[in-house]
A and B are shown apart, each in its own frame.
Chain A
Amino acid sequence: MKNSLNLSDVTRAVCLPALVGGVLLLASGVAQAETIGLVLTTWHNSGTFTDDAKECAHGINPDARENFRAQFKTKEEQDEAMRKYASAGYVLRGPNGESVNYSPWLVKDTLPWSDADAKVSKGLNLSGTLDGHATANTCTHKTFVSPEGEQGIDNQMYRSMGCIRGMRPGGTLDTFYLGEIASKTINRWVVEITGVDDAANDDHVEVTLAQGQDKLVQDSTGKFVPGLTQRMTTNKDYIAHTTGRIVDHVLITDAFPVVRMPTEQLDEPAEWEFKDFRLKVKLTDTGATGVLGGYQDIQKFYRLFAKVVGQHHVSMGASPPSAYESLLRNADGFKDPATGQCTALSSAYDVDFVRAFIVREPDEKNHIAAAPQPSVKGAPNTRLALKN
């Protein structure tokens, strides 16, 4: 509360950047580093998803109910299991009635499960290899080709999640999460790109990824309105920084060693956590489109999965034992030095952003080691090409 902005400071602070922006508007081609601000608007799992689920060898994966019925084959056995363990929705399948949602390792599903498999996926080359061979820190896995033809795309998360009904485009989580991004500031992601000398090509920019604090606005058709303000959080846990470059309007960041962001999905609060996170988006005058991704620790991810997906395992169509086993099987990053097992999965998400003014609130505790403070305190302007 002590950090609340002083009125005159802010009006001065927001004046000056507007001046900067004003100068840029009036005099194009002025060599002055500018800032581009982005706020996340949409999020989907990356991969190939066909209408007839060709990427799933046995079709869409059976859900928890079907696996429950396969585990307890006769009606008598099912009723007995229900009665014995007050089975609420087919999760209390453990040997002593434990919930397989929170303890998926207790039971092995018997129905056939498909890991998604396709040639093409949007995503990023996280491992540094083209063919997914094992390295010091990664495990052997098949890579994908991006729709643009880029080889070596790592997206093992797609294999584990891609044939679960709710995780596919139009599925329960996919749909709900879009709405929750729009409506809840806990899901607000902002990207601040500073030191931009040329928004088309620039071999060095600074990139800050952080939680935002303000609402998104949609127009009457549901599109997100660019050019609004987003305050950046002052919580250091949710601010990450790296460098990057822009090539033909595409921002390509270097790795963020760790990215954590709070999230709320299907009303369940949780935390995203990525290691070696990267962002690759094509910048436009009003926003950006592309992918982001990194390595997600199995256990940390599964705890999110259990709360969000496992809770709603019928509508989501997920059977936790199979899903967990699949995550273990498809892990391709961050070897455990003791066991040599990979503990994380590469992942990729299709994302869209619109432009926003990113405002940093003054906070003496908000020190980010490598981030250069903007030369003008407050909101460095973004240049909006205004259509008539």
Chain B
Amino acid sequence: MKKPVLWGAAFALLLAGVAPLAGKTVPEPKLGDVSPMMRLITSEQYVNTLQSIFGAGLEYRVQFAPIQRVDGLLAVGATSTVMTSGAFDQFDSAARSIAAQVVDARRRDFLLPCKPAKQNAADDTCAGAFLGGTGRLLFRRSLTSDELGAYVHIAHDSAEAAHDFYTGLSNALTSLLVAPEFLYATQPITKAGNELKLTSYAKATRASLLLWNAYPDEDLLAAAESGALNTSADLARQVDRMLNSPKLEQGVRNFFDDMLVFEDFDTLSKDGTFYPAFTTKVRVDAKEQTLRTIIDHVVSQNRDYRDLFTTRKTFLTLDLGSIYGVPVRTDTAWTPYEFPPDSPRAGILTHASFLALHSHPARSSATRRGKALRELFLCQKVPPPPPNVNFGALEDPKSPFHTTRERVNFHLQNPVCAGCHRIMDPIGLALENFDGAGQYRTTEQGAAIDASGTLDGASFKDVAGLSKALHDHPQLPRCLVRRMTSYALGRTLNKDDDGWLQYADGQFSTSGYRVKDLLRTIATSPSFYAASVKADQ
């Protein structure tokens, strides 16, 4: 499995310095638009951030309004979300609940840095210590003295009114938790000479949202404060700390969950008559299986991203065993599993998640699977169908066609349809050995399944061949680079970004297509922290 050339290159890079940037001679291209953006905090970021501040012992009943997907990513939608009063109510009730738990008698001694002089009165010193420390983590910068004064004032007045220090503190904490400075990741910019760039704090936030899907922790904030994020070596050191942290998993998970459009699992339903084994638990487990496989592959094992499409290693539960037709170790909920060398199961395309998500409730769909492969993994946009399409021939139960291949052949005969379907159907047809629930089959209505096809010039005769063709497809890694960059920036990419993207492509390739290295490339790029102001701003 080891490719000596790539390992050597990676080793050389490690010796040369942490960042692949070190020692290079060509200046890194710049990204296009680097206007500052405001990003509304998501439910996951909220919980991740507050859990790291107040711990897993609190209940975080948090369900904020869903974010719209824009240009393929929720992360892009998060930068254009509007706050409504209904949405604000959710933030408010979450904030009150958490604040009440923090000051509760059984917990306060473990979560507050001090005790008030008298419990039945205000204590500005103690309140200030707590609100200042917490506010700093929530706002990702130290509070100004005016800001801190305002929150201490809230605590003071309500403590006096209620004759209880902790009531006052709870009210002040609630206010912090609904402040726009917390709920929005703004990107304050500063001028350094003639250049505009993000402040250290903004850099810290950007990096930790990308890598941890959470706000910066104390160490990162301290580095921001000390100016450490302003030198590339120190920045690289912090980025590496974050890449080696257990919290990287939650960041990478969030990225792939977004990229693979996994929120569709929430509305996925299969016809129980056709797929009785596809239970609610299987639906939940199928999503987790793929995310777990990805995390293990790209984070824990730090392997070549492309091998996700050919690896026989995954994780299974007892329930998934019925879909994959294999016995599974059952004394723990999840167990690592490796399919044997000649198994048709290898790579994400053969996961129940991909196969079931891109199918109909009662049958497979070559078109949907082909479209998904193109759009999710190759970043190739497939135009929508024309409005007057007649699906009759496809849905006809009396159709003389037995297999999907025969049925979709219709698309390819009709010149109106062929243009688009030619780029989708042949791919999806290679996956026809897997039904709409992801279960393996060799025949369809008695007829043998033919899984041959081509993918942009590469021919294959079965799903293993398709997986390899995808693995080898030059657009596969490039698509990941673009997705991740768009995710990191929170915006759609355009031509002006091409220079930087090609640079990132080169870095990704040199690293052996390692996702952690791609993350490092982005998170240590000066472009990622650059800023500009539009003419009308």
Q: Are A386 and B335 neighbours in the complex by a CB distance under 8 Å?
A: no
Q: Are B340 and A19 neighbours in the complex by a CB distance under 8 Å?
A: yes
Which of B272, B318, B343 lies in contact with A215, CB distance below 8 A? Answer: B318
Choose the segment among A4-12, A122-130, A164-172 that binds chain B (4+ C-beta atoms closer than 8 Å).
A4-12
Which of B279, B318, B325, B327 lies in contact with A378, CB distance below 8 A? Answer: B327
Q: Are B340 and A219 neighbours in the complex by a CB distance under 8 Å?
A: no
Q: Are B277 and A231 neighbours in the complex by a CB distance under 8 Å?
A: no
- B164 contacts the other chain (CB 8 A): no
Q: Which residues of A contact B342 (CB under 8 A)?
A: 19, 22, 26
User: Which of A5, A19, A228, A384 is packed against the most chain B CB atoms within 10 Å?
Assistant: A228
- 0/1 string, A1-31, CB within 8 A of B gives 1: 0001101001100111111011001100000
Q: Are A11 and B331 neighbours in the complex by a CB distance under 8 Å?
A: no
Which of A5, A11, A217, A386 lies in contact with B325, CB distance below 8 A? Answer: A386
Q: Which residues of B contact A7 (CB under 8 A)?
A: 335-336
Complex: how many Å from CA A5 to CA B328? 12
Complex: how many Å from CA A357 to CA B337? 15
Question: Closest Cβ of chain B: how far from A35's Cβ, in Å?
Answer: 11
- B108 contacts the other chain (CB 8 A): no
Complex: how many Å from CA A357 to CA B435? 22
Known: A25-B442, A386-B440. A18 touches B276 (CB 8 A): no
Question: Closest Cβ of chain A: how far from B518's Cβ, in Å?
Answer: 29
Q: Are B279 and A225 neighbours in the complex by a CB distance under 8 Å?
A: yes
Q: Which residues of B contact A229 (CB under 8 A)?
A: 318, 321, 327-330
Q: Are A388 and B327 neighbours in the complex by a CB distance under 8 Å?
A: no
- 0/1 string, A326-364, CB within 8 A of B gives 1: 000000000000000000000000000000010100000
Complex: how many Å from CA A359 to CA B329? 8
Q: Are A228 and B319 neighbours in the complex by a CB distance under 8 Å?
A: yes
Question: Closest Cβ of chain B: how far from A287's Cβ, in Å?
Answer: 13
- 0/1 string, A213-240, CB within 8 A of B gives 1: 1110111110101111101000000000
Known: A18-B339, A18-B340. A227 touches B325 (CB 8 A): yes
Complex: how many Å from CA A347 to CA B505? 73
Q: Are A227 and B339 neighbours in the complex by a CB distance under 8 Å?
A: no
Q: Are A5 and B331 neighbours in the complex by a CB distance under 8 Å?
A: yes
Q: Which residue of A lies closest to B281 (CB)?
A: A217
- B443 contacts the other chain (CB 8 A): yes
Complex: how many Å from CA A11 to CA B330? 12
Complex: how many Å from CA A359 to CA B336? 16
- B326 contacts the other chain (CB 8 A): yes
Question: Closest Cβ of chain B: how far from A73's Cβ, in Å?
Answer: 57
Which of B319, B330, B443 lies in contact with A231, CB distance below 8 A? Answer: B330
Q: Are A388 and B330 neighbours in the complex by a CB distance under 8 Å?
A: no
Within 8 A of A (CB), among B293-350: 318-319, 321-322, 325-331, 335-340, 342-343
- 0/1 string, B423-460, CB within 8 A of A gives 1: 00000000000010001111111000000000000000
Q: Which residues of B contact A25 (CB under 8 A)?
A: 442
Which of B276, B331, B336 lies in contact with A220, CB distance below 8 A? Answer: B276
Q: Are A5 and B329 neighbours in the complex by a CB distance under 8 Å?
A: yes
Complex: how many Å from CA A4 to CA B331? 9
Q: Which residues of B contact A218 (CB under 8 A)?
A: 279
Q: Are B440 and A14 neighbours in the complex by a CB distance under 8 Å?
A: no
Q: Which residue of A lies closest to B443 (CB)?
A: A388
Question: Closest Cβ of chain A: how far from B399's Cβ, in Å?
Answer: 15
Within 8 A of B (CB), among A92-109: none
Q: Are A214 and B318 neighbours in the complex by a CB distance under 8 Å?
A: yes
Question: Closest Cβ of chain B: how far from A37's Cβ, in Å?
Answer: 9
- A379 contacts the other chain (CB 8 A): yes
Complex: how many Å from CA A387 to CA B439? 9
Complex: how many Å from CA A225 to CA B337? 21
Q: Which residue of B lies closest to A4 (CB)?
A: B331
Q: Are A227 and B322 neighbours in the complex by a CB distance under 8 Å?
A: yes
Known: A10-B335, A11-B336, A15-B340. A226 touches B322 (CB 8 A): yes
Q: Which residues of B contact A223 (CB under 8 A)?
A: 276
Which of A10, A17, A386 lies in contact with B329, CB distance below 8 A? Answer: A10
Q: Are A357 and B321 neighbours in the complex by a CB distance under 8 Å?
A: yes
Complex: how many Å from CA A227 to CA B327? 8
Which of B322, B443, B445 lies in contact with A217, CB distance below 8 A? Answer: B322
Which of B279, B325, B329 lies in contact with A384, CB distance below 8 A? Answer: B325
Complex: how many Å from CA A16 to CA B443? 25
User: Which of A19, A215, A220, A223 is packed against the most chain B CB atoms within 10 Å?
Assistant: A220
Which of A5, A11, A26, A384 lies in contact with B337, CB distance below 8 A? Answer: A11
Which of B318, B331, B336, B338 lies in contact with A228, CB distance below 8 A? Answer: B318
Q: Which residue of A lies closest to B403 (CB)?
A: A388
Q: Which residue of A lies closest to B323 (CB)?
A: A227
Q: Which residues of B contact A384 (CB under 8 A)?
A: 325
Complex: how many Å from CA A10 to CA B334? 13
Q: Are B327 and A357 neighbours in the complex by a CB distance under 8 Å?
A: yes
Which of A17, A221, A228 lies in contact with B276, CB distance below 8 A? Answer: A221
Which of B277, B336, B441, B443 lies in contact with A225, CB distance below 8 A? Answer: B277
Q: Which residue of A lies closest to B338 (CB)?
A: A11
Q: Which residues of B contact A14 (CB under 8 A)?
A: 326-329, 337
Q: Are B326 and A388 neighbours in the complex by a CB distance under 8 Å?
A: no
Complex: how many Å from CA A228 to CA B442? 21
Known: A22-B342, A226-B322, A229-B321. A388 touches B276 (CB 8 A): no
4 pairs of A and B residues whose beta carbons are closest in the complex: A357-B327, A219-B276, A379-B327, A220-B272
Can you name 24 A-B residue pairings with CB atoms under 8 Å? A4-B331, A7-B335, A10-B335, A14-B327, A14-B329, A15-B339, A18-B326, A18-B327, A18-B340, A213-B330, A214-B330, A217-B279, A217-B322, A218-B279, A219-B276, A220-B279, A229-B318, A229-B321, A357-B321, A357-B326, A386-B439, A387-B441, A388-B441, A388-B443
